[in-house]
Amino acid sequence: MVEIMPTIKRGIAFNGLAALGLCAAMGVAAPAHAAPVPPVAGDDAGFLAALQQDGISYPDPDQAVAAGKAACTCLNNGESGLGLIHDLKTRNSGFDMDSASQFAVIAAKYYCPQQLSKH
């Protein structure tokens, strides 16, 4: 579950989040026949800079990175982009569909770019 309790400041400010249970909270699991999904890696510094550039601030960089990686874990395990965005919006009162989309796209760009080319 990603808990992002934002306050509005041009974009979104993270006040706190718990990223590790996101897919479990959404009921997403990898299919039994699927190969294991490798751990999410990426450019943490680039991700954090992109969030700030787009007006998304956060008090704890490690929590922001964990949320971005959790979003990609969900996508890599088969969650749809729209489902992820809806979940981010639903679980975070400061996110509308645009800001949840913005966060998800930045996460995908830095942690799971192969998800950006899926149709």
Taking only the tens place, the pLDDT of each residue in 53-98 is 998 877 789 988 999 999 999 999 999 999 999 998 888 777 889 9
pLDDT given at position 70: 93
Mean pLDDT of the chain: 75
Secondary structure element (H or E) that encloses residue 91, with its range: helix 81-91
Whether 100 has a pLDDT exceeding 50, the answer reads yes
pTM of the model: 0.72
pLDDT tier at 12, thresholds 50, 70, 90: low
CA distances from 8 to 12, 18, 80 (A): 5, 19, 27
Give backbone dihedrals phi and psi of 67, rounded to 5 degrees, phi first. -65, -40
CA distances from 92 to 6, 38, 68, 98 (A): 7, 27, 14, 13
Whether 114 has a pLDDT exceeding 80, the answer reads yes
